Amino acid sequence: MSRSRQAAVLFAVLGAVHAAGAALHDDLVDNITKPLLMPVLALYAVAAHRERGARVSRRLLLSLALAWAGDVTLQLGGTVALIVGMVFFALAYGIYAVEFIRTGPFRRRRWLFLAGYGAAVTGALVWLWPGLSERGVAWPMAGYGALMAVMAATATSWGWRVGIGGGLLLASDTLIGVGLAETADLPGRAALVMATYLLGQALVVSGWIARAPRPEPAAPLSHPADLVPA
């Protein structure tokens, strides 16, 4: 089994254990597994790039490092930790959005996705606004939601895999907003938050790796005898 496959299996196992712990509200499982998730995904990214003979993307690794910082910060709890963690995630997903815009093909449907995601985020914010205002995070969430709508919409320019990944990341953060606003009591919400987040990250990372250019094969060397005219 290749190193990238080993890292992928480890990430899947850790993710499943972490999601199960979230469903059971097991703080010990959460504290142990959550800080390991993004580093293992980064290991997968490095191994997969090297196996393709491609250069490891520093922007991808930086985004995963920022997501890891967001994960760890949110574990501290409280409004300050929430806002700081939101900043880390905004930077991480901002890197995604910039990369999607910079390298993705410009198509009219991108604007359709942007309009759709923008309408969905606006509707969610209107619904959650009273509860978010009570927590003092309504305006930060509004700015963050706008960024997530742009990221999810532009992710579609990289194909279905990354497009679904971006949508899942937006869905995960929307579920977090529902919990913060205490607008609805969704069964298994904590597990759904982590499941959509981890699957979304995995799809974006695997799609990023799939686009990494492979090195061109070296031209065969000519033998001296081939250079001598007949």
Q: For 123-180, how does the pLDDT look when each residue is reduced to its tens digit (9 = 90+)?
A: 999 999 999 999 999 999 999 999 999 999 999 999 999 999 999 999 999 999 999 9
Helical packing angle, 138-155 and 160-181, nearest 10° = 170
- Band of the pLDDT at 230, cuts 50, 70, 90? very low
| 66, 87, 168, 196 from 164: Cα distances, Å | 21, 23, 6, 10
| 96, 97, 106, 154 from 102: Cα distances, Å | 10, 8, 10, 10
Indicate the pTM of the whole model. Answer: 0.90
3-state secondary structure of 171: helix
Q: In this structure, are residues 200 and 167 in contact, taking their beta carbons and an 8 Å threshold? A: yes
Cα torsion angle, 19, 22, 26, 28, sign: positive
pLDDT in tens, 194-226: 999 999 999 999 999 998 877 665 555 555 555
Cα-to-chain-centroid distance, residue 35: 15
**Residue 74: which of 194, 171, 186, 165 has the closest Cα?**
194
What number is the average pLDDT over the span 178-198? 93
CA atoms within 13 A on the CB side of 164: 9
Residue 187: other Cβ atoms inside 10 A: 7
Rounded-to-10 torsion of CA 213, 217, 218, 223: -170
Backbone conformation region of residue 184, classed left if phi is above 0, alpha if psi is from -120 to 50, else beta: beta
What number is the average pLDDT over the span 7-24? 96
